[in-house]
Amino acid sequence: MRTKSRQRIFRSLLATILDSDLSPADIRDLSKELQSGPLSWELGHALEMLAGQLSVGDTHSLESSDPTDDLQVALQLVKRRRIAKSKLGQIVKSLDHGMPLRRIEEVTIEEFLREFLSSATAAERSQLLSILDTPTKDDPYLAGIMKRIR
């Protein structure tokens, strides 16, 4: 990241936190979580997904998507959100990417995702990751934010 961009982003984040109604204790908790907890990874991934939502017309970002990287991210999301095998099968089927896949009951989740991701387009891979990572059903606050962005 360029130094100027980093400074601008850093200042913007700090200003947003200072402008919020977070207490000093909340800010300390946030600091600890960002330093050692899973929040930094989740925040980074949420920002990546948000950037994808904001730049729908940017095909370059979709073309640079790597199936191997997407597989690791998808596996982490499935594990973290505890998505059942049958539910994962329904999600992939809803994408209707036109390629025949083995039934999910016949293979492991990793094999199923690998098969889908290797035959899917970059846009379909991105759509799958977006579906797997969308916490809006679980968090009404985030759902409201995402509605305003769209």
Check residue 80 and give its pLDDT. 84
> How far is residue 17's CA from residue 31's CA, in Å, rounded to a whole number?
11
**pLDDT tens digits for 50-77?**
776 665 444 434 444 566 788 988 999 8
d(CA 29, CA 25): 6
Q: Residue 12 pLDDT more than 60?
A: yes
Rounded to whole angstroms, how far apart are CA atoms 72 and 82? 15
Share the mean pLDDT of the chain. 77
Q: At what angle do helices 140-149 and 39-54 cross, to 10 degrees?
A: 30
The full set of domain ranges for the chain reads: 3-59, 65-133
The per-residue DSSP string of 39-80 comes to HHHHHHHHHHHHHHHHTTT-HHHHHT--HHHHHHHHHHHHHH
Its pTM surpasses 0.85:
no
78 Cα distance to chain centroid: 11
The alpha helices in the chain, defined as continuous H runs, are 3-19, 24-36, 39-54, 59-63, 67-81, 85-95, 109-119, 122-133, 140-149
Give the number of other Cβ atoms within 10 Å of residue 39's Cβ.
15
Structure confidence at residue 58 (pLDDT):
45
CA–CA gap between residue 82 and residue 139 (Å, rounded): 16
